[in-house]
Amino acid sequence: MAGDTLFDMNPVHPGKILRQKMEEVGWSTEELAKITGLSTSMVYSLIACKTNIGADTAKKLAAAFGNSATEWLKWDGLFRLSQTETEVSDIERMARLYQIAPIREMQKRGWISFSQNVAELESELKNFFCNAELEGDVPFPVALRRTDALPRLTINEKAWCFRARQLAAAIPIITSFNPKRLDMAEKKLRQLAAYRKESGRVPRVLADYGIRFVIVEPIAGVRIDGAAFWLDTEPVIAMSLRHDRIDGFWFTLMHEFAHIRNGDALSVDADMVDGVNGIMLTLIEDEAERLANEAAAASLIPPEELDSFIRRVGPLYPKTRIIQFAHKVKIHPGIIVGQLQYRKEIGYFAVRDQLVKVRDVVILTALTDGWNQSVAPSVL
């Protein structure tokens, strides 16, 4: 390469270079020591290749031989690099693993071991992601043995999805899925939406109709509320319960249920619910999402019933009237509050006492990873 010296291309200890330059000018060890101010023992140590060259020594040698201190330091650095035995290929492999997966977060949650052996981590990630090569965009196996790429998600969000898939695969099938029974399944689910504690029966009802249900607490950076996908021909609903509100739980559940009813292969729904501001559906990416949104809202409160209530009661919505309407349509008043917030009929801080929490009820009956509940790796 142009500009490289023989010493650059074939690194040697700078002591050998020093000895060669001393021979060229005819200086003895003692003479070089007097010229540079270095100790005689230091010069001996250098030409015997027993010590490295620091910045101060490089400046003194450069002044004596008319070259630059940078050159001496470069020779010293190149030689030391040539003697390094670090296996850089392992470093490159480890860096690749950290690029495709949130290793630290997955280890903290017990999804993979705390091993720092690159071969062991590669093996664990291949199992976790169902991917023999770990190349390209990690595919997500869904529906009827088809393989669809995940939407553009962060590595943390992809890890969450695959953990949900792992949990779902561990659930035994009680009843085979039959799409013709979905109307009855929706009716059974809707009956549970009237009371907070009935939310705990959701996993069992879904299982009775061949639908697996799992909950995975989000890891850092995950803003997913729910996902719907398929294990071969069996549907799965996964939820994060990252916002613990009854309206958000039921809307997300019925949104994912709608994806299954519509046969959507894979839906990963983020930012559907905000912990303070309620249901947020301003961003609809495609027709499948729009249909799922509409179906979820309609399955909980018939649109004509809600429209009639708004015409009769608005713009003021006393809590007593909301509760009366909830009794009429047989649904929890918190779900009505959520719908009114979304329609901007009431403020996001109005009637908040009706937005009760349901997480503690649901995780008692659902296969859950998170909130001090975990699934042993051996089960998966």
pLDDT-derived band of residue 2, with 50, 70 and 90 as boundaries? very low
pLDDT tens-place string over residues 103-144: 999 999 999 999 889 999 999 999 999 876 777 677 787 654
* List of domains in the chain: 6-83 (1.10.260.40), 88-126 (no CATH), 141-300+357-379 (no CATH)
Residue range 155-172: average pLDDT? 93
Give 374: exposed, middle or buried? Use CB within 10 Å, 0-12, 13-18, 19+. middle
What span, in angstroms and rounded, lies between the C-alpha atoms of 310 and 321? 11
pLDDT tens-place string over residues 345-372: 998 888 889 999 999 999 999 999 999 8
Q: Please tell me whether residue 132 adopts helix, strand or coil conformation.
A: coil
Q: Please tell me whether residue 243 adopts helix, strand or coil conformation.
A: coil
What span, in angstroms and rounded, lies between the C-alpha atoms of 144 and 129? 18
What span, in angstroms and rounded, lies between the C-alpha atoms of 24 and 313? 102
Q: According to the model, what pLDDT value does residue 3 have?
A: 46
pLDDT tens-place string over residues 93-110: 899 999 999 999 999 999
Average pLDDT, the chain: 87
178: number of Cβ within 10 Å: 11
CA angle 360, 364, 366 (to 5 degrees): 110
The region of weakest confidence among 78-87, 124-133, 297-306 is: 78-87
- Looking at residue 354, its amino acid is Q
Does 162 have pLDDT greater than 50?
A: yes
Q: According to the model, what pLDDT value does residue 280 have?
A: 61
Q: Cα-atom radius of gyration of the chain, to the nearest Å?
A: 33
Q: Is there a contact between 42 and 51 (Cβ–Cβ < 8 Å)?
A: yes
What span, in angstroms and rounded, lies between the C-alpha atoms of 57 and 36? 9
pLDDT-derived band of residue 15, with 50, 70 and 90 as boundaries? very high
The DSSP code for 200 is: G
What span, in angstroms and rounded, lies between the C-alpha atoms of 171 and 192? 22
Q: Which two tokens stand for residue 49?
A: 């290749």
Q: Which two tokens stand for residue 326?
A: 């909830």
Q: Please tell me whether residue 209 adopts helix, strand or coil conformation.
A: coil
